[in-house]
Amino acid sequence: MITAPFAFLPPTRRNRWMKIAIVLALAMTLFFNLTGGPLQTAVAPAGIISFEFAGTVVNAQAIIESWGEHGRLVAAFGLGLDFLYPLVYAAAISLACVWAAERVQAKSSGAAKWGIWLAWGVWLAALLDYVENVALVLLLFGSTAVLLPPLAFLCAAIKFALVIAGILYVLAAWLIFR
């Protein structure tokens, strides 16, 4: 069986770090939601997420233009902060997946294995988030490289799928295997 992330930590310490990481991840998520208002426009109704899924240079440029100068500064600040966020949410979800896998192990070793795979999967999501962020920063600073928007789109899609799968796994384990 594949070794779980943070296996070197005793369970009590892992659980303590999980709680800290969850609080930090929720706080950062709330901060992004509270400060992202200027990024929501008619062209970008979902703000920065619209930018992540722009898909083409034309769409990305339209989104950037719709933000205006203030919005571009907000986006630049947010993307800068988003170089810390993947470490925080990956730690939180990964530790929660390990916690859930430990709870599930006695009743379903297969479900526990999925939890460990997802615990590693959210670290892949974090890596993809970094690739996506670099593509978005380059676009924000004026690049017209046609590969950047589809790259950001693909990275964002896989990232969100892995993050959502990890969160759903933890919720399902908590609800079903309490």
Does residue 1 lie in a domain region? no
pLDDT band at 1; cut points 50, 70, 90: low
In a domain, 79, yes or no: yes
| Domain tally, the chain | 1
Sign of the C-alpha dihedral computed for residues 163, 168, 174 and 177 taken in this order: negative
Q: How does pLDDT run across 144-160, given as a tens digit for each residue?
A: 999 999 999 999 999 99
- Residue 111 inside a domain? The answer is yes
Alpha-carbon Rg for the chain, nearest whole angstrom, is 18
Does 34 score more than 90 pLDDT? yes
What is the structure's pLDDT at 31?
95
* Structural domain contains residue 17: yes
What's this model's pTM, rounded to 2 decimal places? 0.92
pLDDT of residue 146: 97
Q: Under a CB-based contact definition with an 8 Å cutoff, are residues 159 and 132 in contact?
A: yes
42 falls within a domain: yes
pLDDT at residue 2, as a whole number: 75
The 10s digit of each residue's pLDDT in 67-86 is 999 999 999 999 999 999 99
Which residues, 6+ apart, have CB-to-CB distance to 167 below 8 Å? 93, 96
Count CB atoms within 10 A of the CB of residue 33: 10
Domain that holds residue 27: 11-176
**Contact status, residue 139 vs residue 150, Cβ threshold 8 Å:** no
pLDDT value of residue 111: 85
For residue 100, being part of any structural domain is answered with yes
In a domain, 165, yes or no: yes
Q: What are the structure tokens assigned to 71, written together?
A: 């919005």
Look at residue 123 and tell me if it is in a domain. Answer: yes
Q: What is the pLDDT of residues 91-147, one digit of tens each?
A: 999 999 999 999 898 888 888 899 999 999 999 999 999 999 999 999 999 999 999
Q: 92-121: string of b/e by CB count within 10 Å (b at 16+)?
A: bbbbbbbbbbbbbeeeeeebbebbbbbbbb
Give the pLDDT confidence score for residue 165 in this predicted structure: 98
